Chains A and B, each alone.
Chain A
Amino acid sequence: MGTIWRISGPLVIAEGMRGTRVYEVVEIGEEGIVGEVIGLDGDRAVIQSHEETLGLRAGEPVRPTGRTLSAELGPGLLGSIYDGLQKSLLALISDSGEFIRRGVKAHALPRDKKWDFTPVVDKGDAVEGGDVIGTVPETPLVEHKVMVPHGVRGRISEIRRGEYTVEDMVAVVENNGDRREINLMQEWPVRMARPYRKRRDPSGLLTTGMRIIDYMFPLALGGKAAVPGGFGTGKTVTQQQLVRWAETDLNIYVGCGERGNEMADVLHSFRDLKEPKSGRPLQEKEIFIANTSNMPVVAREASIFVGVTMAEYYRDMGYDILLVADSTSRWAEAMREMGGRLEEMPGEEGFPSYMGSRLSSFYERAGRVDCIGGPERVGSVTIAGAVSPPGADFSEPVTQHTLRIVGALLSLDTSLANKRHFPAINWLTSHSQYVTAVRNWWDRFDPGWEVTRAEAQRILQKESELEEIVRLVGPESLPDDDKLLLLVARMIREDFLQQSAFSEADTYCSPEKAGLMMKTILHFHEKAKEMLDAAMPFTSVRSSAAVARIARMKEIKNEEFADKVKAIREEIDGSLGAEADRDDGTVPETAETKEGVTP
């Protein structure tokens, strides 16, 4: 046991610490607040404290625990709300009230709750790390697979069935007389990635219900995305929408150094919101980490790793998990704060030089993998991290490092947000590498998606070029086909890309609906071009009833869309003149796509 020698903010130096290891967890002071050794110098240990150090004195004891910072993994994680060190915040309320006291301890997994364990192996079966030995219905939405901890192998000499707590023994594995009891819970050091058998490429659309993401800048299962933006541009709402609607098996929301009221809003709404398919409360497939901005800074650093460790654990069961982290910038700032106290040589803008590699070590834990152990399973972790660049200036180090790592960029734009164009994702500067990874997936719903998507992007690109001319000569002096292009671009922006998270009918848009919406707009474009060619004045095109119908397309419910869009089609063909019969190629195509079958 050592004693405190120096205290400066979250930095504590203890002496008499010979024998401790880097990253060993220590308990500091009489209250035993949690710290982590981050450096050793003779018999002095440099410790970062995950809790407030206010009121500590030199000479107070420091106790090494022999453990590294680990997460508890087992049934009971889903629906829980943790702080950055995986203490259950609900347990803390019952222990110490509505305010967070320092030094209070709370387990991540409830110790008294019993789980219904059903074995899937028999006595005598040979097992090794990663093998599933049984299941527990963790929530009505997620079946928890109990796996043999890594490093254990042998034959099952005992297996039980029935109600057990996480600490009860449910199986025994024996190997040459070496007896290992297995229970429903295991631990894993959070800074170490959990192993897998083989990495695969990201593949399959991670459906989010946001048109601009699913249709324009898709995320693939196992992918990595960044959501940078100045304050008020929609990082948090976007991430909340992702965990709300993503068609994954479960999600992890890491609130890292952000607002308490926002967390309260998420927690409450997930209690009330229902998972669309089962009608069960959404929180049954979510884990929350709430380490708000006024909570200890150093624990922000841990919170991200705790989150991703839990994600990997469920991945290993063969599930698809989405983890969002709001905001990775606050996490990086925690590193800067420690770096500053250690008087390390600062890198760019005061961030420590290892900030970039620490960021990649987090994002690298995303991926789609073949899991270790039997039966064969494929699981994935997709990560979407918010970045909060100072002054909304993307050239700053955290944004720049992140952009080098991620495969998709949803770039939030202050000027769009100011106009209340939401989601304020800039369609000219965002990108996604996952277009090819999701092409097959899209083709099931919307044959030719890649082509239509490219056409929409072309129109938006052209609009931005015309925009410069408009600023010089005014909109009225453009030729009619350019005016039409601007009208269609506006339709794409306002009637397709814009999507209020708070509109009941539009908050979630099915990929089918999104596909049909875009096809309808482009169909309008085709028809209108013909009319202009046939000498219809542009003003008549603009004031045609079809324009107003397209403007209200979003309000149509997902399940009614395929049906109701037909009327809009007819409106387009009708109001854009009698000559419509000249054409027969483009019109009927969507009638087929509604079935969602490729010819």
Chain B
Amino acid sequence: MKMPRTLFRGGAAEYRPGTTGRKPALHEDLFVREGRAIKKAGGALLIAKAIPGTQYNEIVEVRLSNGTVKAGQAIDISDEVTVVQVFGGVSEVDLAGTRIRCKGETLKLPVSDDLLGRVLNGMGKPIDGGPAVIPVDYLDINGEAINPASREPPAEFIETGISAIDGLNVLVRGQKLPVFSGAGLPHNRIAAQIIRQATVKGKGENFAIVFGAVGISYDDAAFFINNLRGTGALERAVAFVNTASDPAIERISTPRLALTAAEYFAWQRDMHVLVILTDMTNYCESLRELSAMREEIPSRRGYPGYMYTDLATIYERAGRIEGRKGSVTIMPILTMPDDDITHPIPDLTGYITEGQIVLSRSLERGGVYPPIDVFLSLSRMMKEGIGPGKTREDHNNVFMQLYAAYAEGAYLREISTIIGADALGDRDRLYLENADRMERLFIAQRDDEKRSVESTLDIAWELFSRLPEEDLKLISEAFIAKYLPENNRTGGDSA
């Protein structure tokens, strides 16, 4: 039943000789307490007679009488009973022989620079055939909330080389910007292109990539890892892989492990870390499953009421901290069930993240790559990341004018499907045409094409040159004089 793991082997950076990677002996046995009196088992829950001293939410070991060891978590404790949620379910648990061992630990990730170049599973165990990671520290995978007063507002422009992003929905360091996709849309290709191309102007700093695969197919995980390897980025990367065939319950810890590694690199090792998490829809499904097992009162469509807060504890780990050099930028990918942006998963995500890049099935069908729906897409951190010294002085004006003109064209396209384009006036036809040109020339590009932000803005000016100049009211007259190409200028609709 196990998936072949060979792909993940040998991809790791060289192992240093002499490292055995054994977890340093903890005085664990001193603190271990055991519970035997299991009263009830069902779904993923074990209810045992209270195990004294158990901490709320601590990670416990469940030893079945057949020798299997499973991980579990104490989710409700009282003087009378301890309720343990068993990762991987309670199959084969018998009430008489099963033991619960409590070590007083919450789930921790061993961290060190040795993580770079490695592939681990969704519980943080190496699966690339390499040795265990020699830790310099063990970090609680839940992290700690950054004090809002010590955050530095993100403001450094990351050039992705993709016009629809760099021109209209700018990504900055420390932002959390998800990709909302749909089944079969090229989100992986876009994410891979961003990983290959992303740079920060004039900076050659230390960076790292953390990849968290959450319940995706083996092939998709392989695609990412091969892509990292192909660009030589694998030695600056660490992957946490939970594939579709791995236990669903481990999907709860996978993104947290990824972010714990990211925080270590960013806050302790001064690196700029880009975290890709895919597919967070699978994460949410696991959360719903767990909640159902706990018989909690569901909120919309069966998802737990705390899903907003739960996702926030993951995504809020992005950011910058005053006085520290590193940063954590998160780009989660999720597929919208039924392409529905109002579904609780994209909806709650959009309420947490600093914008979203939304992919469109109709653009995809129209042959546009990347099929980014710029109307539904948004970057809330954009205003900090653009302008003179960052991108270009005209960026904000161009951005507003591009939207206004494209929105007008999109509206005219909609009404012309009923009344026919012939029923439109000359001016309206210019806008209709502009919407097509916008999609073909500005949004569309090759997946190996890295456009500088200047050339992205120049394409926009090229589009503007076909519109009546007096309509460019969102652009200052000075910029029009400076950037509008002379050759194609039209005289407006009186011409």
- What B residues does A97 contact at CB under 8 A? 147, 150
Closest A residue to B53 by beta carbon equals: A57
- What B residues does A8 contact at CB under 8 A? 75-76
B215 at the binding interface (Cβ < 8 Å):
no
CA distance A301 to B55 in the complex (A): 26
B428 at the binding interface (Cβ < 8 Å):
yes
Q: A232-B355, A260-B319, A264-B153 are in contact. Are A340 and B147 (CB under 8 A)?
A: no
B305 and A261 contacting across the interface, CB-CB below 8 Å: no
- What B residues does A89 contact at CB under 8 A? 147-149
A98 and B423 contacting across the interface, CB-CB below 8 Å: no
A5 and B347 contacting across the interface, CB-CB below 8 Å: no
Q: A81-B149, A297-B309 are in contact. Are A5 and B297 (CB under 8 A)?
A: no
B145 at the binding interface (Cβ < 8 Å):
yes
CA distance A581 to B78 in the complex (A): 89
B319 and A350 contacting across the interface, CB-CB below 8 Å: no
Q: A100-B145, A391-B347, A475-B428 are in contact. Are A13 and B403 (CB under 8 A)?
A: no
A7 and B76 contacting across the interface, CB-CB below 8 Å: yes
- What A residues does B54 contact at CB under 8 A? 57-58
Most buried by A among B53, B299, B318, B407: B299
- What A residues does B396 contact at CB under 8 A? 502
A599 at the binding interface (Cβ < 8 Å):
no
CA distance A231 to B348 in the complex (A): 9
Per-position 1/0 for B384-414, Cβ under 8 A of A: 1000000000001000100110010000000
B344 at the binding interface (Cβ < 8 Å):
yes
Closest B residue to A555 by beta carbon equals: B476
Most buried by B among A98, A336, A392, A494: A98
B144 and A58 contacting across the interface, CB-CB below 8 Å: no
Q: A6-B77, A58-B52, A261-B151 are in contact. Are A340 and B296 (CB under 8 A)?
A: yes
A5 and B79 contacting across the interface, CB-CB below 8 Å: yes
- What B residues does A474 contact at CB under 8 A? 415, 419-420, 423-424
- What B residues does A393 contact at CB under 8 A? 342
In the assembled complex, the CB of B82 is this many whole angstroms from the nearest CB of chain A, namely 9
CA distance A477 to B428 in the complex (A): 13
- What B residues does A257 contact at CB under 8 A? 308-309, 312
Q: A259-B316, A418-B376 are in contact. Are A473 and B419 (CB under 8 A)?
A: yes
B418 at the binding interface (Cβ < 8 Å):
yes
In the assembled complex, the CB of B490 is this many whole angstroms from the nearest CB of chain A, namely 13
A54 and B492 contacting across the interface, CB-CB below 8 Å: no
CA distance A471 to B419 in the complex (A): 7
A294 and B473 contacting across the interface, CB-CB below 8 Å: no
A448 at the binding interface (Cβ < 8 Å):
no
CA distance A13 to B80 in the complex (A): 12
Per-position 1/0 for B269-291, Cβ under 8 A of A: 00000000000000000000000
- What B residues does A475 contact at CB under 8 A? 424-425, 428
A267: contacting residue among B76, B149, B354, CB under 8 A:
B149
In the assembled complex, the CB of A414 is this many whole angstroms from the nearest CB of chain B, namely 9
- What A residues does B347 contact at CB under 8 A? 230-231, 390-391
- What A residues does B403 contact at CB under 8 A? 419-420
B151 and A336 contacting across the interface, CB-CB below 8 Å: no
Q: A7-B77, A59-B79 are in contact. Are A260 and B148 (CB under 8 A)?
A: yes
Most buried by B among A5, A53, A419, A502: A419
B305 and A333 contacting across the interface, CB-CB below 8 Å: yes
B145: contacting residue among A54, A262, A292, CB under 8 A:
A292
Q: Scan residues 289-307 of chain A and give those whose CB is less than 8 A from a CB of chain B.
A: 290, 292-295, 297
- What B residues does A333 contact at CB under 8 A? 305-306, 308-309
B147: contacting residue among A99, A350, A470, A494, CB under 8 A:
A99
A476 at the binding interface (Cβ < 8 Å):
yes
CA distance A295 to B317 in the complex (A): 11
- What A residues does B418 contact at CB under 8 A? 471-472
B258 at the binding interface (Cβ < 8 Å):
no
In the assembled complex, the CB of A56 is this many whole angstroms from the nearest CB of chain B, namely 5
B375 and A232 contacting across the interface, CB-CB below 8 Å: no
CA distance A477 to B144 in the complex (A): 63
Q: A293-B312, A297-B306 are in contact. Are A263 and B151 (CB under 8 A)?
A: yes
- What A residues does B322 contact at CB under 8 A? 98
A261 and B381 contacting across the interface, CB-CB below 8 Å: yes
CA distance A543 to B490 in the complex (A): 14
A277 at the binding interface (Cβ < 8 Å):
no
**B residues contacting the other copy or chain, number (CB 8 A):** 85
Q: Scan residues 210-256 of chain A and give those whose CB is less than 8 A from a CB of chain B.
A: 230-232, 255
A90 at the binding interface (Cβ < 8 Å):
yes
B485 at the binding interface (Cβ < 8 Å):
no
- What A residues does B144 contact at CB under 8 A? 99-101
A7 and B351 contacting across the interface, CB-CB below 8 Å: no
- What A residues does B424 contact at CB under 8 A? 474-476
A390: contacting residue among B148, B149, B344, CB under 8 A:
B344
Q: Scan residues 465-484 of chain A and give those whose CB is less than 8 A from a CB of chain B.
A: 470-477
B494 and A543 contacting across the interface, CB-CB below 8 Å: yes
B112 at the binding interface (Cβ < 8 Å):
no
A265 and B384 contacting across the interface, CB-CB below 8 Å: yes
- What B residues does A470 contact at CB under 8 A? 415
A346 at the binding interface (Cβ < 8 Å):
yes
Per-position 1/0 for B463-495, Cβ under 8 A of A: 000000010010011000000000000001110
In the assembled complex, the CB of B464 is this many whole angstroms from the nearest CB of chain A, namely 15
Closest A residue to B410 by beta carbon equals: A419
- What B residues does A55 contact at CB under 8 A? 55-58, 106
Q: Scan residues 86-117 of chain A and give those whose CB is less than 8 A from a CB of chain B.
A: 89-90, 92-93, 97-101
B56 and A263 contacting across the interface, CB-CB below 8 Å: no
B306: contacting residue among A13, A53, A337, A471, CB under 8 A:
A337
A293 and B147 contacting across the interface, CB-CB below 8 Å: no
CA distance A242 to B299 in the complex (A): 32
Closest A residue to B492 by beta carbon equals: A543
Closest A residue to B356 by beta carbon equals: A232
A349 at the binding interface (Cβ < 8 Å):
yes
In the assembled complex, the CB of A346 is this many whole angstroms from the nearest CB of chain B, namely 6
- What A residues does B420 contact at CB under 8 A? 474
Closest A residue to B408 by beta carbon equals: A419
CA distance A54 to B106 in the complex (A): 9
B146 at the binding interface (Cβ < 8 Å):
yes
A198 at the binding interface (Cβ < 8 Å):
no
B55: contacting residue among A56, A81, A292, CB under 8 A:
A56
Q: Scan residues 61-115 of chain B and give those whose CB is less than 8 A from a CB of chain A.
A: 75-79, 106
In the assembled complex, the CB of A423 is this many whole angstroms from the nearest CB of chain B, namely 14
CA distance A336 to B306 in the complex (A): 9
Q: Scan residues 522-559 of chain A and give those whose CB is less than 8 A from a CB of chain B.
A: 539, 542-543, 547-548, 551-552, 555
A268 at the binding interface (Cβ < 8 Å):
yes
Closest A residue to B105 by beta carbon equals: A55
Q: A99-B147, A260-B316 are in contact. Are A232 and B380 (CB under 8 A)?
A: yes
Q: Scan residues 157-189 of chain B and give those whose CB is less than 8 A from a CB of chain A.
A: 174-175
Besides A261-B318, A543-B492, 10 more A-B contacts (Cβ < 8 Å) are A15-B79, A58-B77, A90-B149, A100-B145, A292-B148, A346-B297, A420-B404, A471-B419, A473-B419, A475-B424
A-B contact pairs, 13 of them (CB 8 A): A5-B78, A57-B54, A99-B147, A100-B145, A259-B354, A261-B354, A330-B308, A333-B305, A420-B407, A471-B419, A472-B418, A475-B424, A551-B470
| Chain B positions near chain A (C-beta within 8 angstroms) | 50, 52-58, 75-79, 106, 142-154, 174-175, 296-300, 305-306, 308-309, 312-313, 316-319, 321-322, 324, 342-344, 347-348, 350-352, 354-356, 375-376, 378, 380-381, 383-384, 396, 400, 403-404, 407, 415, 418-420, 423-425, 428, 470, 473, 476-477, 492-494
| Chain A positions near chain B (C-beta within 8 angstroms) | 5-8, 13, 15, 53-59, 81, 89-90, 92-93, 97-101, 230-232, 255, 257, 259-265, 267-268, 290, 292-295, 297, 330, 333, 336-337, 340, 346, 349-350, 388, 390-393, 417-421, 470-477, 494-495, 500, 502, 539, 542-543, 547-548, 551-552, 555
* 6 smallest beta-carbon distances between A and B, as pairs: A293-B312, A6-B78, A391-B342, A474-B423, A264-B151, A294-B316
